[in-house]
């Protein structure tokens, strides 16, 4: 359960998030908005990595900074230094346990999750030697590794190929069945449009929050993106906005 109430946040006096409220209860939610609209900032606030200037955030009724441990998080930009020779195995193990010494069981778990993103062969490789898409899949695997109660992913698909993206989405849907909260930032909503329960349209403010069928319309997208957004309506009645899409 994630509850965000009237939250505002500024960097050096410039508002990045303005009076945003929404809640997520056993749902799969996507956040959409243009570059610089505060998506990553909002995610960092939910993670307790930033503290709201105004308003409050509760995760299962607790302050966000106390609950980070049971959230599987994938940042937009990995802060692992470029030349730091960390191995893929160590990155996944960081997700499995907080302890410095790993048990056989930890290693087994880590190998299993790496297998799920079809990157078993990279176990002993240096993280920085992988392609950008492979790095994203490793970070995705790390986020899922500790069987988190909440999954928060900031643009998890931006560099991955289509089959890998489909695989990642099916892994998320598996977790969703366990009744956990999933919050993801996406530029292109279409690959997950039929999987998500709700969309948050963000441009500093929450422009709209609700089911994709309810809120993905010209008016809301215009307000979010500041320009006309083309929409393709499919048979099931979903509106597919053509933003960040391969077709644009
Ligand atoms: N560490 C920082 N210091 C100062 N300003 C920042 C910082 N991080 C973000 N900002 C500013 O806050 C605003 C929101 O940034 P944020 O990264 O949350 O946007 P975003 O929606 O995630 O964008 P993108 O789609 O490019 O990832 C931007 O104007 C950005 O320049
Ligand atoms: Mg961002």
pLDDT in tens, 234-243: 777 788 888 7
Cα(166) to centroid(ligand 1), Å: 28
Nearest to 175 by CA among 157, 149, 154, 193: 149
Residues 148-172: b if buried by 16+ CB within 10 A, e if exposed: bbbbbbbbbbbebeeebbebbbebb
Name the residue of 10, 36, 225 whose CB sits within 8 Å of the most ligand 1 atoms, as the mutation to test its pocket: 36
Chain centroid, CA 245 distance in Å: 18
CA distance linking residue 177 with residue 26, whole number of Å: 9
Give yes or no for residue 244 having a pLDDT over 70.
no
Burial of 236 (0-12, 13-18, 19+ CB in 10 A): exposed
What confidence score (pLDDT) does residue 146 get?
Answer: 83
Q: Compute CA distances 47 → 23, 55, 156, 184, whole Å.
A: 14, 15, 16, 13
Domains of the chain: 2-74+149-241 (3.40.50.300)
Higher pLDDT pick, 7 / 101: 7
Alpha helices in 31-161 (DSSP H): 39-46, 88-96, 104-116, 132-145
Averaged over 141-149, what is the pLDDT? Answer: 92
CA distance linking residue 38 with residue 126, whole number of Å: 32
> What is the reported pTM?
0.93
Closest protein CA for atom 18 of ligand 1? 38
Most distant CA pair in the chain, distance:
55
- Name the residues around ion ligand 2, CB cutoff 5 A: 39-40, 76
pLDDT in tens, 157-212: 999 999 999 999 999 999 998 889 999 999 999 999 999 999 999 999 999 999 99
pLDDT tier for residue 248 given thresholds of 50, 70 and 90: very low
* Nearest atom of ligand 1 to the alpha carbon of 38: 18
What confidence score (pLDDT) does residue 230 get?
Answer: 83
Cα(42) to centroid(ligand 1), Å: 10
pLDDT in tens, 124-139: 999 999 999 999 999 9
């Amino acid at each position: 359960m994630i509850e965000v109430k009237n939250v505002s946040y500024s960097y050096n006096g410039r508002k990045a998030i303005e009076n945003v409220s929404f809640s997520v209860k056993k749902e799969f939610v996507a956040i959409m908005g243009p570059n610089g609209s505060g998506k990553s900032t909002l995610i960092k606030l939910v993670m307790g990595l930033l503290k709201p200037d105004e308003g409050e955030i509760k995760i299962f009724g607790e302050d966000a900074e106390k609950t980070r441990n049971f959230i599987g998080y994938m940042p937009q930009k990995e802060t692992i230094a470029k030349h730091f020779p960390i191995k893929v195995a160590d990155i996944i193990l960081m997700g499995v346990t907080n302890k410095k010494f790993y048990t056989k069981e930890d290693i087994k778990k880590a190998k299993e999750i790496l297998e799920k993103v079809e990157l078993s062969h990279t176990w002993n490789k240096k993280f920085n030697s992988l392609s950008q898409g492979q790095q994203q899949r490793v970070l995705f695997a790390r986020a899922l590794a500790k069987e988190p109660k909440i999954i928060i992913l900031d643009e998890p698909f931006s560099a991955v190929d289509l089959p890998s993206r489909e695989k990642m989405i099916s892994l998320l849907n598996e977790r969703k069945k366990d009744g956990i909260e999933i919050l993801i930032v996406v530029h292109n909503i279409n690959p997950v449009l039929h999987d998500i329960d709700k969309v948050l349209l963000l441009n500093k403010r929450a422009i709209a929050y609700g089911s994709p069928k309810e809120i993905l319309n010209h008016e809301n997208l215009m307000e979010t993106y500041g320009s006309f957004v083309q929409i393709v309506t499919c048979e099931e009645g979903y509106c597919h906005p053509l933003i960040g899409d391969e077709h644009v």
